[in-house]
Amino acid sequence: MRNLYYILSFFLFGNLATAQHSFKGYIDNDRWQNEVYLSVIEDYRTLEGINDEQIITKVSTGPDGFFQFTGNQLDSAHKIYKLHVDNCTSFNQGSNHFEGHCSDSNDILFIAKNTDTITFPLSFDAQMFCDIVSTNPRTAAFIKVDSLKEVMKFAYSEFRSKASRDLNNKKWFKTLQDFGEALDEPLAELYIYAFLSDRGNQFHDYYLEDLKANSYYDRLLERLQDQYPNTSYTKQYEAELTSDKFIASPLKESSGFNWIYVGIVVLIISLLFNFWFLISAKKRKAKQHTQAKEQLTKQEQNVLDLLLDNKTNKDIADALFVSVSTVKTHVNNVYKKLNVNSRDELKSLFSN
């Protein structure tokens, strides 16, 4: 009877304890280098470009361009992720990622959690990152938004007069907001908000005017607080919304109050938020390091520490009083458990 209980417990709860994600697809090896990067986007203002600090891991493609990311290290809650490829030279790749720029790259943004199975197939004309097949209906929300943005860009380019621009602003702000609200996914709405409120866009002034009277932005905050409470996404949006509302509707000086102090307070809050974000990121990384090490045996942890200290296999063998072949076995076990393929990837995983 006890054995039956254990068997039933394994089938009922085993999958929950080892939630696995699988992101797979194909790239054109003739067009791109055979490395695909997976990043998590914590700051929705960094959706564009390449940020070395956001890269989780990378994999190499097979001869046919196939790639796959698997494991159980992702968050159980929905987050924004990115796959990207580039043709930066290996010599300059690190600096290019750090500077957030590569002149020849391609990427796709999507929403996922740690149990999702997602495929990124090549299109009929061998185009990549144009489609998503997923067990999670929220995954493809960004692609749907991008399709609508393309129609919007065409409408703006048809006539470039001020009258046409004013009409398009009124139409497309509402169209994008209604579309985002209908998706029932606040992270996709943040994608829309980041686009509409971008200070580099020609319609940023219209956004500030829209902010004065449109309750949509407050409703979005409520949806974020309901579905993503205490996350960096919600805290960042709330801080930006407060700041932009102050810019859009500054109170008159005739009230006798010096509003410079309010601006200082907003600045201090923003600085505190950024400081909190950095500290939280470090804590998350430290937690990831701890969880990663907990998968290893004591001897494998010793090998890991020596690998991170740039010791050779012979150095490690001498330090632990074992043979070099035993060290190689431990190294292979460490690579397999931590889902890495080289010392460089191992150092990247545990870098500060």
Average pLDDT over all residues of the chain? 83
In sequence order, the 6+-apart residues with CB closer than 8 A to the CB of 27 are: 34, 36, 61, 65, 67, 85, 122, 128
Which percentage of the chain shows pLDDT scores above 90?
A: 41
Continuous segment of H or E residues that includes residue 26? strand 21-26
Taking 70 as the threshold, does the pLDDT of residue 2 lie above it?
no
Lowest mean pLDDT among 3-7, 49-53, 203-207, 228-232: 3-7
Which percentage of the chain shows pLDDT scores above 70?
A: 84
Taking 50 as the threshold, does the pLDDT of residue 138 lie above it?
yes
Q: Give the pLDDT score at 215.
A: 95
Asked whether the beta carbons of 20 and 71 are under 8 A apart, the reply is yes
In sequence order, the 6+-apart residues with CB closer than 8 A to the CB of 21 are: 69, 70, 71, 72, 74, 112, 113, 114, 115, 116, 117, 118
Written as six digits, the tokens of 111 are 């929403």
Q: Give the pLDDT score at 11.
A: 46
DSSP lists the bridge partners of residue 68 as 24
Taking 70 as the threshold, does the pLDDT of residue 267 lie above it?
yes
pLDDT digits (tens, 9 = 90+) for 55-94: 999 999 999 999 999 998 898 899 999 999 988 765 444 5
Taking 60 as the threshold, does the pLDDT of residue 4 lie above it?
no
Taking 50 as the threshold, does the pLDDT of residue 16 lie above it?
no
Taking 70 as the threshold, does the pLDDT of residue 41 lie above it?
yes
Written as six digits, the tokens of 8 are 């039933």
Question: Terminal CA-to-CA distance of the chain, rounded, Å?
Answer: 50
Average pLDDT estimate for 233-258: 80
Q: Give the pLDDT score at 89.
A: 60
Taking 70 as the threshold, does the pLDDT of residue 268 lie above it?
yes
Asked whether the beta carbons of 202 and 189 are under 8 A apart, the reply is no
pLDDT digits (tens, 9 = 90+) for 104-113: 889 999 999 9
Taking 90 as the threshold, does the pLDDT of residue 270 lie above it?
no
Taking 60 as the threshold, does the pLDDT of residue 14 lie above it?
no
Question: Which band of pLDDT confidence, cut at 50, 70 and 90, is reported for residue 212?
Answer: very high
Q: Give the pLDDT score at 208.
A: 93
In sequence order, the 6+-apart residues with CB closer than 8 A to the CB of 120 are: 23, 24, 25, 26, 83, 108, 128, 129, 131, 132, 133
